[in-house]
Amino acid sequence: MRLQLFSLLLVFFSLPSFANIGDMPKEQQLAVRYIKALTSQDYAKLTSFYNRDSVFNDRTASRKYTGKRHILSFLKRAHKGVLEYDFNIEHMFNSGSLVILIGNYHYRGPGEQFGKPGRIIDLAIPGVTTLNLDMTNNRVKEHQDLMDYQTMSDQLSTQ
Amino acid sequence: MRLQLFSLLLVFFSLPSFANIGDMPKEQQLAVRYIKALTSQDYAKLTSFYNRDSVFNDRTASRKYTGKRHILSFLKRAHKGVLEYDFNIEHMFNSGSLVILIGNYHYRGPGEQFGKPGRIIDLAIPGVTTLNLDMTNNRVKEHQDLMDYQTMSDQLSTQ
């Protein structure tokens, strides 16, 4: 009984601040739709979020791509064969068209790209994603990631 | 008894990943020393972290200062009369000289600057601070803040 109550409390604390996506500021709504297209690898939907000036910047990996074509080609390469991919957003806020998402990226998939060939690996990488949005055209002007690759590497070492 | 155990668990979960500051990467150690100088308003110490090229950038407030002199004058103005000021770091990581700190800035002080003259206000503002460090000279090249001012404004409305 106590455990159930505790679990229930945990569920409440895990819920986002907004009960309904429609209650969120429109910038955060667009951000969530974009992140969903990204993590569900819906490239048909994802393509509408970028134009030739869009920038995808992983600052912690010093990796930067400009333009829809280069970004999509990178994402397709990076997420090849992935089994599960989602972003657990723990906190989100915005200042105008700048949206900040804090949480962890969960990844389950082939270990080839992580030096673990033939194995299925499971990662939860803490990260901060900052989106600079163009609200007139529903586009992502800049997607910037700050990822805790040390935690990723610690998780990989035991898999 | 159960409550004590629960509190104890909370304390464990609140502890940073490193038991000792000496076990942290040197970039994170420098970041923590800098944040301590900043939040304890130790301007004599703080001045050694900046040079004329240092940048202090609050992206969510579109406020940017360049150079030791302008940064310090802004900070002294912003923190005038403050009673308590600290950054509760919930997660910290780095990629080389880029250090990311996630947590909340706790502030207790006069409400004048927040439209609450004559009152003492208490705030805990979620935020992400990114520090670009010069490890050779122990300097902050760029301090960038992303602050959840909506949460701050919600907290202010009830005080």
B114: pLDDT strictly greater than 70: yes
Counted residue by residue, chain B has a size of: 159
Interval A136-151 mean pLDDT: 97
In a domain, A11, yes or no: no
Q: How far is A60 from chain B (nearest CA, A)?
A: 5
Residues with Cβ < 8 Å from B92, sequence gap 6 or more?
B16, B17, B28, B31, B32, B99, B100, B101, B102
Q: What is the DSSP string of chain A?
A: -HHHHHHHHHHHHHS-S-SSGGGS-HHHHHHHHHHHHHHTT-HHHHGGG--TT-EEEEGGGTEEEESHHHHHHHHHHHTTT-SEEEEEEEEEEEETTEEEEEEEEEEEEESGGGT-TT-EEEEEEEEEEEEEEETTTTEEEEEEEEE-HHHHHHHHHT-
Residue A6 included in any domain: no
Residue A4 lies in a domain: no
Which candidate, A125, A124, A142, A138, places its Cα nearest to that of A64? A142
Interface of A with B in 122-141 (CB under 8 A): 126, 128, 130
> pLDDT, tens digit, for every residue of B33-57?
999 999 999 999 999 999 999 999 9
Among residues B56, B61, B54, B55, the alpha carbon closest in space to that of B148 is found at: B61
CA A99 and chain centroid, separation: 13
- Residue B80 domain flag: yes
Whether A80 maps to a domain, the answer reads: yes
pLDDT for the residue numbered B22: 73
Does A83 fall in a domain?
A: yes
Q: Is the pLDDT of residue B123 over 90?
A: yes
Structural domain includes residue A50: yes
- Mean pLDDT for A35-40 is 96
Structure pTM? Answer: 0.86
Nearest CB among A61, A100, A147 relative to B128 is that of: A100
- Averaged pLDDT for residues A131-158: 96
Structural domain of B74 = 26-158
**What pLDDT is attached to residue B20?**
67
The residue type found at B57 is N
Chain A interface test: which of B7, B89, B100, B130 (most A C-beta within 10 Å): B100
User: What's the token pair of residue B30?
Assistant: 């420098």
Residues B146-158, mean pLDDT to the nearest whole number: 94
- Which of A1-15, A47-61, A97-111, B35-49 shows the lowest mean pLDDT across its residues? A1-15
CB contact under 8 Å between B93 and A61, yes or no, is no
- What number of C-beta contacts closer than 8 Å exist between A and B? 55
Residue A17 belongs to some domain of the structure: no
**Predicted pLDDT of residue A40:** 95
Is A55 in the B-facing interface, judged by CB distances under 8 Å?
no
pLDDT value for A22: 72
pLDDT at residue B105, as a whole number: 96
Percent of chain A with pLDDT over 90: 80
Q: Give the pLDDT confidence score for residue A15 in this predicted structure.
A: 43
**CATH number reported for the structural domain that contains residue B110 in this entry:** 3.10.450.50
Which regions of B31-118 does DSSP assign to beta strands (E)?
55-58, 63-66, 84-95, 98-110
CB contact under 8 A, B98 and A60: yes
pLDDT bin (cut points 50, 70, 90) of residue B13 is very low
Domains held by chain B: number: 1
Cβ pair A126:B98 closer than 8 A: no
